[in-house]
Amino acid sequence: MKSVVHEIRNQLAVAIANVEAFRDGLLFPSPERLASVAQALADATALLADLPDDPAAPPAELAPQMRSINVCEVITNAVLAFEGLTAERHIAFRVRQCSVHHHACEAFLGDPIRVSEIVNNVVSNAIRYTPDGGRIDVDCRRSGEALAITVTDDGPGVRADEIARIFEAGFRGAASHDTAGSGVGLALTARFVEQHGGSIQVENVPGRGARFTVRMPGTALAPPVT
């Protein structure tokens, strides 16, 4: 139950932050930004279906709904949804993506909601630890046989003795003592990445904070005949 509620809360938080940024004039409500808000609300609605009618009953662990998706579009919508939160805290939010979509990414075998949640959790974590006025860099591109997403923040980084435990459910490191959180997000992320046949790693970046790297192979379908 806690994991589903956590994901719903995240999606609603980014949607609310964007609407407030539109209202306050911090962001222009472009069609792309409105689409990202709509996607966050749609994902929250889909996740609500995972909650049992009986609040005392635990929700079933649903298998990922794998299908061919344009993963670039899913990630773009997920990333754009964070512009409101970063604008509110004057965080420079820099996103780099391939200028031309790779066929393997346009025909990526994955669960769109869980791919969105992977991005949501990693970027939310970066925002949580980046100070106001800091910077977050998101890089998404095809690397070898996998899609690689990196998120680098300006936070305190991860202590060497905590790196091995960072993806454990309920674990909160020393840097989290004055931040909100339950220690659920990164554990969920690791599980969702594993379900996509991928991996997630964290490292410290000199002069910055932590860098999370997600790699997911997906499965490319045969390119269309032209």
Each residue's pLDDT tens digit, 109-161 = 999 999 999 999 999 999 999 999 999 999 999 988 899 999 999 999 998 88
What per-residue confidence (pLDDT) applies to 59? 47
What per-residue confidence (pLDDT) applies to 197? 93
Q: Who wins on pLDDT, 213 or 54?
A: 213
DSSP labels for 53-101?
SSTTSPPP-PPP--EEE-HHHHHHHHHHTTHHHHHHTT-EEEEEE-SS-
Any idea which architecture 2-216 has in CATH?
2-Layer Sandwich (3.30)
Residues 6+ apart with CB under 8 A from 158: 166, 173, 175, 202, 204, 210
pLDDT tens digits, one per residue of 167-182 = 887 776 666 655 555 5
Q: Which tokens in the block code for residue 144? A: 């070898």
Q: How confident is the model at residue 6 (pLDDT cuts 50, 70, 90)?
A: confident
pLDDT tens digits, one per residue of 33-62 = 999 889 889 888 887 776 665 555 544 556
pLDDT tens digits, one per residue of 49-106 = 766 655 555 445 567 889 999 999 999 999 999 999 999 999 999 999 988 888 889 9
Domain boundaries, the chain: 2-216
